[in-house]
């Protein structure tokens, strides 16, 4: 297990169960956990598939317990998994934490071609706290446009003094954010990268500047990247060296890793664009 970074941002290259033991109990303000879903994705050569569902869940219960142990008494915990496993997580966690929201991250997906059943267009997220009477929730920082009454300038006559509907509201529990696509600026080479916008909402709502945010399955380190952008501190844990390199680069913690320059790989459409610019430049050059 290796630890990289500085006082504010730490990257732990290692197994989550082992690495979590290195984190002090009751020390983390916000945890976002996006583990392997046991659905056969390929994480840099490691197949995300356990021999049985029971084994997967048994493993999850171990890190869930550790995360809860690391969370401050007023901390918040957001956790994801595949739709078919979320009911087990819910039943397990509700005995230990207060589940305040059962969120649905919804996305449009033209790629889903299910013909004989209804294709999957969402991923569930549990939002839990240790103490439902004492937790951070920065309402003002996550308001969204209220699309109904306020837009039509309707008056709410149910109020003692009739007033115009609010034009802003706290988002409901269905969140629509586009999935990260190959052509998007934030794209990294990882099969299940989460969008910056999703983490922005979670981090802004459930932590304050200077707080410690932890992600035990960091992947492309979206959580730690967003935490840094918003003045929070972070701990990111990841098993695959290839993804640790993405984290070191995204968080600007290193330019080099074991002698290799850390650079974002140029995507195929960028090479085409570069070739066009180069060719145009050649034609622009005055002759002789």
Ligand X SMILES: C[S@@+](CC[C@H](N)C(=O)[O-])C[C@H]1O[C@@H](n2cnc3c(N)ncnc32)[C@H](O)[C@@H]1O
Give the containing element (helix H, strand E) for 212: strand 212-215
Candidates 33-41, 81-89, 93-101, 139-147 — which segment interacts with ligand X by CB under 6 A?
33-41
Instruction: Give the 3-state DSSP-derived string for 133-189, with helices as H, strands as E and coil as C.
Output: CCCCCCHHHCCEECCCCCCCCCEECCCCCCEECCCEECCCCEEECCCCCCCCCCCCC
38 binds ligand X (CB under 6 A): no
Candidates 101-109, 122-130, 170-178, 218-226 — which segment interacts with ligand X by CB under 6 A?
218-226
* Residue nearer to ligand X on the CB measure, 40 or 286: 40
Which residue in the block uniquely carries the two structure tokens 């701990």? 235
Q: C-alpha angle 27/230/123, rounded to 5°?
A: 80
240 binds ligand X (CB under 6 A): yes
Q: 256: which 2 tokens? A: 């080099």
For residues 52 to 91, the per-residue mask of contacts with ligand X, x marking binding by CB under 6 A and - elsewhere, is: ----------------------------------------
189 binds ligand X (CB under 6 A): no
Strand residue runs (E) in 8-154 = 9-13, 28-33, 42-43, 46-47, 71-80, 98-106, 122-129, 144-145
Tell which one of 93, 128, 217, 233 touches ligand X (CB under 6 A): 217
Tell which one of 9, 243, 244, 251 touches ligand X (CB under 6 A): 243
Candidates 22-30, 130-138, 236-244, 273-281 — which segment interacts with ligand X by CB under 6 A?
236-244
233 binds ligand X (CB under 6 A): no
236 binds ligand X (CB under 6 A): no
Separation of first and last alpha carbons in the chain: 60
Interacting residues toward ligand X by CB under 6 A: 15-16, 34-36, 43, 190, 192-194, 217, 219-220, 222, 237-240, 243
């Amino acid at each position: 297990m290796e630890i990289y970074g500085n006082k504010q941002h730490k990257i732990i290259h290692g197994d989550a169960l082992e690495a979590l033991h290195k984190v002090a109990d009751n020390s983390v303000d916000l945890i976002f956990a996006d583990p392997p879903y046991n659905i056969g994705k390929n994480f840099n050569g490691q197949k995300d598939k356990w021999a049985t569902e029971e084994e997967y869940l048994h493993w999850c219960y171990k890190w869930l317990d550790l995360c809860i142990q690391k969370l401050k008494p007023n901390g918040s915990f957001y956790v994801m998994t595949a739709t078919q496993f979320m009911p087990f997580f819910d039943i397990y966690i509700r005995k230990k934490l207060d589940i305040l929201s059962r969120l649905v991250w919804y996305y449009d997906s033209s790629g889903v071609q299910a013909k004989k059943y209804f294709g999957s267009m969402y991923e569930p997220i549990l939002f839990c706290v240790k103490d439902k009477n004492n937790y951070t929730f920065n309402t003002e920082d996550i308001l969204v446009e209220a699309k109904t009454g306020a837009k039509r300038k309707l008056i709410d006559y149910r109020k003692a003094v009739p007033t115009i509907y609010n034009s802003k509201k706290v988002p409901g529990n269905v969140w629509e954010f586009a999935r990260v696509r190959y052509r998007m600026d934030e794209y990294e080479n990882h099969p299940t990268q989460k969008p910056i916008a999703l983490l922005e909402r979670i981090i802004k709502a459930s932590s304050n500047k200077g707080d410690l945010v932890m992600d035990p399955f960091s992947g492309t380190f979206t959580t730690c990247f967003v935490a840094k952008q918003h003045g929070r501190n972070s701990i990111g844990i990841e098993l695959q060296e290839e993804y640790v390199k993405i984290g070191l680069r995204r968080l600007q913690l290193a330019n080099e890793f074991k002698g290799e320059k850390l650079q974002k790989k140029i995507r195929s459409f960028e090479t085409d664009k570069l070739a066009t610019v180069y060719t145009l430049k050649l034609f622009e050059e005055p002759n002789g």
